Amino acid sequence: MEFTASPKPQLSSRANAFSIAALMSSGGPKEKEAAENTIKPLEQFVEKSSCAQPLGELTSLDAHAEFGGGGGSPSSSSLCTEPLIPTTPIIPSEEMAKIACSLETKELWDKFHELGTEMIITKSGRRMFPTIRVSFSGVDPESKYIVLMDIVPVDNKRYRYAYHRSSWLVAGKADPPLPARLYVHPDSPFTGEQLLKQMVSFEKVKLTNNELDQHGHIILNSMHKYQPRVHIIKKKDHTASLLNLKSEEFRTFIFPETVFTAVTAYQNQLITKLKIDSNPFAKGFRDSSRLTDIERE
């Protein structure tokens, strides 16, 4: 018996518009360029800055300026995955050496640190709890300062949670690094007088695992350990730029008790309970009917 090939079905004009071929060819360069232009100027600066550039040669950042040479989305190989502010200590100037930084709500951070702090990351971005809140002393009341925050990997390892041991274990090598980002506090620049009187809170920082994030959230890998860092940079009076990254004009402060593991769901139920008990915005979860017997204890 002979088989003849059936004729290729003809799609209507409406069906053809939704065919795979039509959908694949619809994403033109103009749409990609438009998507890139939705990113904030700060993130354009962060993602287009070359990791190989010396710190003092980085382009100055103006809050209202545009960055980058041309249109088009930068390739993944050109994205900066190294911290934009060095992780190795740099000897500060005599003036900057006088500045001290204290972590507020340290007692709460210590409670989480004893259990092994976990922070939820989501595609849309999730705020940190506890929040990084700091206060400064030793600043010049007449000078202006930029306060920033970034989050860097603690090591090059990936972790898993062993429920039977209630502890974190090394699961292998870290995943490929993600684009490095700086979060500039929205109230910057501060005067020294302001910093002496008020606390600086980073409650608006959001963590995400979306590598294509266009909202300026800090991008992290799940099941990896991270260390938040707070930076203070003295703003030069003779420049109009928001940032002037001169090595002798900034200080970096690290608080070991703020180390955390990024997760998409809490692994340690004691962390879940402590978050519910400590977070004023988690009041709805404090209903005892929602807690397990272990959590009630």
- Distance CA(180)–CA(211), nearest Å, equals 11
- Distance CA(224)–CA(172), nearest Å, equals 10
- Distance CA(65)–CA(68), nearest Å, equals 10
- Distance CA(91)–CA(294), nearest Å, equals 49
> Residue length, the chain?
297
Looking at residue 117, its pLDDT comes to: 97
Share of the chain above pLDDT 70, in %: 63
- Distance CA(246)–CA(60), nearest Å, equals 10
Residue that has been written with the tokens 């994205």 in this structure:
79
Model confidence pTM above 0.75: no
> Quick one: pLDDT band at residue 26, thresholds 50, 70, 90?
very low
Residue 66: left if φ>0, alpha if ψ -120 to 50, beta else—which one? beta
Looking at residue 293, its pLDDT comes to: 44
Q: For residues 41 and 65, is the Cβ–Cβ distance under 8 A?
A: yes
> Which one-letter DSSP state was computed for residue 246?
-
Share of the chain above pLDDT 90, in %: 53
Looking at residue 274, its pLDDT comes to: 95
Mean pLDDT of 127-149: 95
- Residue (of 144, 152, 183) closest to 45 by Cα position: 183
Q: Does 41 sit behind a cis peptide bond, omega within 30 degrees of 0 on the bond before it? A: no
- Residue (of 266, 132, 288, 145) closest to 205 by Cα position: 132
Q: What is the DSSP string of 69-119?
A: SSSSPPPGGGS--S-SS-SS--PPPHHHHT-EEEETTHHHHHHHHHH--EE
